[in-house]
Protein backbone atom coordinates (compact mmCIF):
# COMPACT_ATOMS: atom_id res chain seq x y z
CA UNK A 1 0.00 0.00 0.00
CA UNK A 2 1.41 3.40 -0.96
CA UNK A 3 0.02 6.93 -0.68
CA UNK A 4 1.20 9.69 -3.03
CA UNK A 5 0.32 13.33 -2.39
CA UNK A 6 -0.31 14.86 -5.81
CA UNK A 7 -1.33 18.28 -4.51
CA UNK A 8 -1.07 19.91 -1.09
CA UNK A 9 -2.35 23.44 -1.68
CA UNK A 10 -5.78 24.75 -0.77
CA UNK A 11 -7.93 26.64 -3.28
CA UNK A 12 -5.07 28.38 -5.12
CA UNK A 13 -2.17 26.41 -6.60
CA UNK A 14 1.34 27.78 -6.09
CA UNK A 15 4.59 27.15 -7.93
CA UNK A 16 5.42 24.48 -5.36
CA UNK A 17 2.00 23.03 -4.57
CA UNK A 18 -0.81 21.84 -6.80
CA UNK A 19 -4.41 21.66 -5.58
CA UNK A 20 -5.80 18.61 -3.84
CA UNK A 21 -5.23 15.07 -5.08
CA UNK A 22 -4.22 11.97 -3.12
CA UNK A 23 -3.50 8.64 -4.80
CA UNK A 24 -3.65 5.34 -2.94
CA UNK A 25 -2.20 2.28 -4.64
CA UNK A 26 -3.47 -0.95 -3.13
CA UNK A 27 -2.79 -4.25 -4.93
CA UNK A 28 -4.53 -3.96 -8.32
CA UNK A 29 -6.54 -0.87 -7.33
CA UNK A 30 -5.72 2.78 -7.92
CA UNK A 31 -7.82 5.06 -5.73
CA UNK A 32 -7.97 8.85 -5.95
CA UNK A 33 -9.23 10.93 -3.06
CA UNK A 34 -10.24 14.15 -4.82
CA UNK A 35 -8.85 15.19 -8.19
CA UNK A 36 -8.01 18.86 -8.47
CA UNK A 37 -6.92 20.68 -11.62
CA UNK A 38 -3.70 19.24 -13.04
CA UNK A 39 -3.88 15.95 -11.15
CA UNK A 40 -3.11 13.77 -14.17
CA UNK A 41 0.01 15.82 -14.93
CA UNK A 42 1.08 15.40 -11.31
CA UNK A 43 0.59 11.66 -11.76
CA UNK A 44 2.93 11.75 -14.77
CA UNK A 45 5.62 13.47 -12.73
CA UNK A 46 5.14 11.03 -9.84
CA UNK A 47 5.48 8.04 -12.17
CA UNK A 48 1.88 6.91 -11.68
CA UNK A 49 -0.02 5.43 -14.62
CA UNK A 50 -3.32 7.31 -14.86
CA UNK A 51 -4.92 4.20 -16.32
CA UNK A 52 -4.46 2.51 -12.94
CA UNK A 53 -7.27 4.65 -11.50
CA UNK A 54 -10.27 2.49 -10.65
CA UNK A 55 -12.13 4.65 -8.12
CA UNK A 56 -12.41 8.38 -7.41
CA UNK A 57 -13.75 9.44 -4.02
CA UNK A 58 -14.91 13.05 -4.11
CA UNK A 59 -15.13 14.83 -0.78
CA UNK A 60 -17.10 17.80 -2.17
CA UNK A 61 -17.62 19.71 -5.38
CA UNK A 62 -15.54 22.83 -4.84
CA UNK A 63 -13.42 23.28 -7.96
CA UNK A 64 -10.05 22.80 -6.30
CA UNK A 65 -11.10 19.24 -5.44
CA UNK A 66 -12.69 18.13 -8.72
CA UNK A 67 -11.56 20.25 -11.69
CA UNK A 68 -9.11 17.58 -12.83
CA UNK A 69 -11.69 14.82 -13.24
CA UNK A 70 -12.87 15.79 -16.73
CA UNK A 71 -9.35 15.76 -18.20
CA UNK A 72 -8.43 12.55 -16.45
CA UNK A 73 -11.40 10.52 -17.68
CA UNK A 74 -11.04 11.94 -21.20
CA UNK A 75 -7.44 10.75 -21.33
CA UNK A 76 -8.27 7.39 -19.78
CA UNK A 77 -11.03 6.92 -22.35
CA UNK A 78 -8.50 7.10 -25.18
CA UNK A 79 -7.91 3.34 -25.11
CA UNK A 80 -8.99 0.42 -27.26
CA UNK A 81 -10.54 -1.28 -24.26
CA UNK A 82 -12.94 1.00 -22.41
CA UNK A 83 -11.94 1.21 -18.75
CA UNK A 84 -14.34 1.24 -15.81
CA UNK A 85 -14.11 4.04 -13.26
CA UNK A 86 -16.36 4.42 -10.23
CA UNK A 87 -16.95 7.91 -8.84
CA UNK A 88 -18.29 8.31 -5.30
CA UNK A 89 -19.38 11.64 -3.89
CA UNK A 90 -21.87 13.53 -1.72
CA UNK A 91 -25.39 14.73 -2.55
CA UNK A 92 -25.49 16.34 -5.97
CA UNK A 93 -22.68 14.21 -7.41
CA UNK A 94 -24.77 12.68 -10.20
CA UNK A 95 -25.91 16.10 -11.38
CA UNK A 96 -22.39 17.53 -11.19
CA UNK A 97 -20.97 14.64 -13.21
CA UNK A 98 -23.62 15.15 -15.91
CA UNK A 99 -22.76 18.84 -16.12
CA UNK A 100 -19.06 17.96 -16.22
CA UNK A 101 -19.58 15.60 -19.16
CA UNK A 102 -21.30 18.41 -21.09
CA UNK A 103 -18.45 20.88 -20.52
CA UNK A 104 -16.41 19.62 -23.47
CA UNK A 105 -17.00 17.77 -26.72
CA UNK A 106 -15.71 14.21 -26.79
CA UNK A 107 -17.05 10.70 -27.01
CA UNK A 108 -16.87 9.25 -23.52
CA UNK A 109 -15.41 5.84 -24.26
CA UNK A 110 -15.39 4.89 -20.62
CA UNK A 111 -17.68 2.97 -18.32
CA UNK A 112 -18.30 5.71 -15.78
CA UNK A 113 -20.34 4.56 -12.76
CA UNK A 114 -21.49 7.30 -10.41
CA UNK A 115 -22.49 6.66 -6.80
CA UNK A 116 -24.15 9.38 -4.75
CA UNK A 117 -23.43 9.00 -1.04
CA UNK A 118 -25.81 10.32 1.60
CA UNK A 119 -24.55 9.42 5.07
CA UNK A 120 -26.96 10.06 7.92
CA UNK A 121 -25.92 12.72 10.45
CA UNK A 122 -23.63 11.41 13.18
CA UNK A 123 -23.34 7.97 11.54
CA UNK A 124 -20.56 6.16 9.70
CA UNK A 125 -21.65 4.71 6.35
CA UNK A 126 -20.01 1.79 4.55
CA UNK A 127 -19.57 2.77 0.90
CA UNK A 128 -17.54 -0.06 -0.63
CA UNK A 129 -16.62 -3.55 0.50
CA UNK A 130 -14.39 -6.02 -1.32
CA UNK A 131 -12.70 -9.22 -0.26
CA UNK A 132 -9.65 -7.23 0.88
CA UNK A 133 -10.89 -3.86 2.14
CA UNK A 134 -13.80 -1.57 2.83
CA UNK A 135 -14.34 2.19 2.55
CA UNK A 136 -16.41 4.10 5.08
CA UNK A 137 -17.51 7.71 5.05
CA UNK A 138 -19.10 10.35 7.26
CA UNK A 139 -20.58 13.79 6.72
CA UNK A 140 -18.25 16.66 7.61
CA UNK A 141 -19.10 20.28 8.48
CA UNK A 142 -18.29 22.47 5.49
CA UNK A 143 -20.23 25.18 3.64
CA UNK A 144 -21.35 22.64 1.02
CA UNK A 145 -22.09 18.90 1.35
CA UNK A 146 -18.74 17.32 2.18
CA UNK A 147 -17.71 13.87 3.33
CA UNK A 148 -14.57 12.27 4.72
CA UNK A 149 -13.40 8.75 3.94
CA UNK A 150 -11.63 5.86 5.67
CA UNK A 151 -9.91 3.10 3.71
CA UNK A 152 -9.80 0.02 5.94
CA UNK A 153 -7.78 -3.05 5.03
CA UNK A 154 -9.30 -6.25 6.38
CA UNK A 155 -7.43 -8.41 8.88
CA UNK A 156 -5.84 -11.54 7.41
CA UNK A 157 -4.51 -14.84 8.71
CA UNK A 158 -0.93 -15.73 7.86
CA UNK A 159 0.56 -19.21 8.08
CA UNK A 160 3.25 -19.70 10.71
CA UNK A 161 5.95 -21.87 9.01
CA UNK A 162 7.43 -23.07 12.31
CA UNK A 163 4.08 -24.46 13.45
CA UNK A 164 3.61 -26.18 10.07
CA UNK A 165 6.96 -27.87 10.52
CA UNK A 166 6.18 -28.92 14.08
CA UNK A 167 2.92 -30.54 12.94
CA UNK A 168 4.45 -32.03 9.80
CA UNK A 169 2.10 -30.20 7.46
CA UNK A 170 3.28 -29.78 3.86
CA UNK A 171 2.38 -27.09 1.33
CA UNK A 172 -0.88 -27.60 -0.53
CA UNK A 173 -4.39 -26.29 -1.21
CA UNK A 174 -5.37 -27.07 2.39
CA UNK A 175 -3.30 -24.06 3.51
CA UNK A 176 -5.49 -21.70 1.48
CA UNK A 177 -8.57 -23.00 3.28
CA UNK A 178 -6.86 -22.53 6.65
CA UNK A 179 -6.01 -18.91 5.73
CA UNK A 180 -9.68 -18.41 4.96
CA UNK A 181 -10.44 -19.38 8.55
CA UNK A 182 -11.62 -22.92 7.81
CA UNK A 183 -10.81 -26.08 9.73
CA UNK A 184 -9.33 -28.82 7.53
CA UNK A 185 -8.48 -32.50 7.92
CA UNK A 186 -4.85 -33.31 7.06
CA UNK A 187 -3.71 -36.95 7.11
CA UNK A 188 -6.64 -37.82 9.32
CA UNK A 189 -5.96 -35.03 11.81
CA UNK A 190 -8.17 -31.97 12.29
CA UNK A 191 -6.22 -28.72 11.84
CA UNK A 192 -7.82 -25.52 13.09
CA UNK A 193 -6.72 -22.06 11.85
CA UNK A 194 -5.52 -21.08 15.33
CA UNK A 195 -3.19 -24.09 15.32
CA UNK A 196 -0.97 -22.76 12.53
CA UNK A 197 -1.82 -19.10 11.85
CA UNK A 198 -1.37 -15.66 13.31
CA UNK A 199 -3.49 -12.55 12.78
CA UNK A 200 -2.17 -9.70 10.63
CA UNK A 201 -4.05 -6.53 11.50
CA UNK A 202 -5.20 -4.51 8.50
CA UNK A 203 -4.28 -0.84 8.12
CA UNK A 204 -6.65 2.11 8.27
CA UNK A 205 -6.18 5.41 6.44
CA UNK A 206 -8.58 8.30 7.03
CA UNK A 207 -8.95 11.38 4.85
CA UNK A 208 -10.51 14.41 6.56
CA UNK A 209 -11.33 16.91 3.84
CA UNK A 210 -12.59 20.49 4.19
CA UNK A 211 -14.46 20.89 7.46
CA UNK A 212 -14.83 22.72 10.72
CA UNK A 213 -13.89 20.68 13.77
CA UNK A 214 -16.67 18.15 14.30
CA UNK A 215 -17.41 14.92 16.13
CA UNK A 216 -17.84 12.97 12.88
CA UNK A 217 -14.20 13.60 12.00
CA UNK A 218 -13.18 11.96 15.27
CA UNK A 219 -15.53 9.00 14.75
CA UNK A 220 -14.34 8.42 11.20
CA UNK A 221 -10.64 8.55 12.11
CA UNK A 222 -10.88 6.40 15.25
CA UNK A 223 -7.76 4.21 15.64
CA UNK A 224 -6.47 5.04 12.15
CA UNK A 225 -2.85 4.25 11.33
CA UNK A 226 -2.70 7.44 9.29
CA UNK A 227 -5.05 10.39 9.40
CA UNK A 228 -4.66 12.75 6.45
CA UNK A 229 -6.25 16.06 7.30
CA UNK A 230 -6.73 19.47 5.78
CA UNK A 231 -5.04 22.26 7.73
CA UNK A 232 -5.55 25.44 5.78
CA UNK A 233 -4.40 27.76 8.58
CA UNK A 234 -1.95 28.05 11.42
CA UNK A 235 -3.42 28.61 14.86
CA UNK A 236 -3.20 32.41 14.65
CA UNK A 237 -6.03 32.40 12.10
CA UNK A 238 -8.54 30.44 14.18
CA UNK A 239 -11.26 33.03 13.51
CA UNK A 240 -10.79 32.81 9.74
CA UNK A 241 -10.88 29.01 9.93
CA UNK A 242 -14.20 29.15 11.76
CA UNK A 243 -15.63 31.67 9.27
CA UNK A 244 -14.76 29.46 6.28
CA UNK A 245 -15.34 26.13 8.05
CA UNK A 246 -11.77 24.89 7.82
CA UNK A 247 -9.29 23.43 10.30
CA UNK A 248 -6.28 25.01 11.91
CA UNK A 249 -3.27 22.92 12.82
CA UNK A 250 -4.52 22.81 16.41
CA UNK A 251 -7.97 21.62 15.30
CA UNK A 252 -6.50 18.78 13.24
CA UNK A 253 -4.16 17.77 16.05
CA UNK A 254 -7.02 17.69 18.54
CA UNK A 255 -9.04 15.42 16.24
CA UNK A 256 -6.02 13.11 15.87
CA UNK A 257 -5.57 12.98 19.64
CA UNK A 258 -9.23 12.27 20.35
CA UNK A 259 -9.35 9.61 17.62
CA UNK A 260 -6.25 7.81 18.92
CA UNK A 261 -4.56 7.78 15.51
CA UNK A 262 -0.95 6.73 15.13
CA UNK A 263 0.21 9.38 12.67
CA UNK A 264 -1.14 12.70 11.39
CA UNK A 265 -0.30 14.06 7.94
CA UNK A 266 -1.44 17.62 7.23
CA UNK A 267 -2.23 18.98 3.77
CA UNK A 268 -4.37 21.58 1.93
CA UNK A 269 -2.39 24.64 2.99
CA UNK A 270 -3.36 28.24 2.24
CA UNK A 271 -1.27 29.96 -0.43
CA UNK A 272 -0.32 32.60 2.18
CA UNK A 273 2.21 30.13 3.67
CA UNK A 274 5.43 30.03 1.68
CA UNK A 275 6.66 27.35 4.10
CA UNK A 276 4.62 25.24 6.51
CA UNK A 277 6.90 25.12 9.54
CA UNK A 278 4.49 27.20 11.62
CA UNK A 279 1.59 24.86 10.86
CA UNK A 280 3.64 21.77 11.67
CA UNK A 281 4.96 23.25 14.90
CA UNK A 282 1.44 24.24 16.01
CA UNK A 283 0.18 20.69 15.47
CA UNK A 284 3.19 18.98 17.08
CA UNK A 285 2.61 20.85 20.33
CA UNK A 286 -0.56 18.77 20.70
CA UNK A 287 0.15 15.72 18.55
CA UNK A 288 3.90 15.05 18.17
CA UNK A 289 3.52 12.42 15.43
CA UNK A 290 2.64 15.06 12.83
CA UNK A 291 4.20 15.89 9.48
CA UNK A 292 3.17 18.29 6.75
CA UNK A 293 2.81 16.76 3.31
CA UNK A 294 4.45 18.13 0.19
CA UNK A 295 3.74 17.49 -3.47
CA UNK A 296 4.98 14.06 -4.60
CA UNK A 297 5.53 12.88 -1.04
CA UNK A 298 5.12 9.08 -0.89
CA UNK A 299 4.16 7.10 2.20
CA UNK A 300 4.52 3.32 2.16
CA UNK A 301 2.51 1.26 4.61
pLDDT in tens, 170-185: 787 887 887 777 888 8
- pTM for the full model? 0.92
Please give the average per-residue pLDDT across 222-237, as a whole number: 98
Q: Which residue of the set 16, 52, 64, 122 is catalytic?
A: 64
Percent with pLDDT over 70 in the chain: 100
Domain 2-155+201-300 falls in which CATH fold?
Metallo-beta-lactamase; Chain A (3.60.15)
pLDDT digits (tens, 9 = 90+) for 239-275: 999 999 999 999 999 999 999 999 999 999 999 999 9
Flag whether pLDDT at 216 surpasses 90: yes
Three state DSSP letters for the chain: CEEEEEECECCCCCCCCCCCEEEEEECCEEEEEEECCCHHHHHHHHCCCHHHCCEEECCCCCHHHHCCHHHHHHHHCCCCCCCEEEEEECCCHHHHHHHHHCCCCCCCCCEEEEEECCCCCCCCEEEEECCCEEEEEEECCCCCCCEEEEEEECCEEEECHHHHHHHCCCCCHHHHHHHCCCCEEECCEEECHHHHEEEECCCEEEEECCCCCCHHHHHHHCCCCEEEEECCECHHHHHHHHHHCCCEHHHHHHHHHHCCCCEEEEECECCCCCCCHHHHHHHHCCCCCEEECCCCCEEEC
Q: Which of 179-188, 232-241, 254-263, 279-288 has the lowest mean pLDDT?
A: 179-188
The predicted pLDDT at position 233 comes to: 97
CATH 3.60.15.10 domain position(s) in the chain: 2-155+201-300
The predicted pLDDT at position 256 comes to: 98
The predicted pLDDT at position 23 comes to: 98
The predicted pLDDT at position 190 comes to: 83
Average model confidence (pLDDT) for the chain?
93
The yes-or-no answer on residue 64 being catalytic is: yes
pLDDT digits (tens, 9 = 90+) for 14-68: 999 999 999 999 999 999 999 999 999 999 999 999 999 999 999 999 999 999 9
Flag whether pLDDT at 87 surpasses 80: yes
- Residue 232: partners with Cβ closer than 8 Å, 6 or more residues away: 10, 210, 241, 244, 246, 247, 248, 268, 269, 270
Reported as a pLDDT band with limits 50, 70 and 90, residue 301 is very high
Please give the average per-residue pLDDT across 107-117, as a whole number: 89
Percent with pLDDT over 90 in the chain: 78
pLDDT digits (tens, 9 = 90+) for 144-175: 999 999 999 998 888 888 887 877 877 878 87
The predicted pLDDT at position 80 comes to: 66
Amino acid sequence: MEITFLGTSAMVPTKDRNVTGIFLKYRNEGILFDCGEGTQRQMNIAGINRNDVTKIFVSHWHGDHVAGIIGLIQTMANKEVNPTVNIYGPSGTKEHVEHMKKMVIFDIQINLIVHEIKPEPDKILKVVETEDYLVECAALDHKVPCIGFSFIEKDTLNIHPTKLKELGIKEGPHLRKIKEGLTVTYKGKEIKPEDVTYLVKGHKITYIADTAACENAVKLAMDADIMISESVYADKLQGKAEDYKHLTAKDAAMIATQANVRRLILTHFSQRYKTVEEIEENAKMIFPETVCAYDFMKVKI
